[in-house]
Structure 1
């Protein structure tokens, strides 16, 4: 299954993605790997040969080809009988972030060959990149959309929403609540409250008899939104 990679750099930031083989790879002499990326979110800055064949001391050939959304990597160790065993690093690909969100790193072709130039069976795993990714979606619970709420003197109104979490480890999530008489949330008639809880109580005497709109934004400390 694809690995999950969490990137907290914003737009314009750069990060490295490593292409590796595991310990099940033995006696490998040649590899070809092709993968696709979402070019609306990432651009390839550079590709660097890995250290997989360093232990052989032999001459290696390494090529990287980039065309539109496809990146193709090719590697070969020269010399009779030269090969290497995993685990090891085949290449490091550096990306610059154009936009944030989820990016699927899909391997569309791979060819690994042993010292006798015979292809061997192998599994490939792409990656799911979460680039400056916001907290997960959540629902507003109470009151439901379009509800008619009757308040008596001294009553209050509870706004309740589901909790959420960040995709980044140990990243606390806070909430920004806004309620307003304007569906466009004009700041002049909008109340904004920053919270860590998922419930907020509005005193009834602060509300007028009209239609109110409310929304909640989850904010992670890593991404800032």
Structure 2
């Protein structure tokens, strides 16, 4: 009981450390899923569709755990989620609103899933158009929030320190910005997850496994390259 209380207290007092611990464990499980996916891909044409669906569901559930934990972290410190220290600078070059662009999943499926039927291509094209409309709206909303950071209420006029009443106004503006950033990030993550869910729903069981294997491999490969670059940079310095 005491150990659980200490863990809870540490988690609430240092959300970054808590999330980094979760993320490290999540990545280990992600690597295990990749091994399983790659093994199944080699024989998926002969596998039972029920087994392929079960594996796909487990992989998607694993991704869902990440987004649930990220959402909790966002409610604690959204500013840190927008500048996540648990990702390398190289990984962050692929980011859009604190995560990979939904469009990346569509590019992966076009390469990894194999031959698609005309009906599948039509459904994916429809999904792509709908996704890009929402993506554009969210980018515009984020730009509006970022512009509000430079609002007059946050500027110290003439280099003087703000008085008590002005501090209250600044705190109110900052809280409004924080809430707006949480909303934008939450909607971006909804777009990411719904795009993946709809995309998987278009694919057959064999295509699902191939797509998830390729997407997981890409994510882990980008991370590996990022870590290698960081190691080289430290060695130079």
Q: Which has the higher contact order (CA 8 A, sep 6+)?
A: 2
Q: Could you tell me the TM-score, scaled by structure 2's length?
A: 0.25
Q: Could you tell me the TM-score, scaled by structure 1's length?
A: 0.26
The structure with more radius of gyration: 1
Higher helix share: 2
Higher strand share: 1
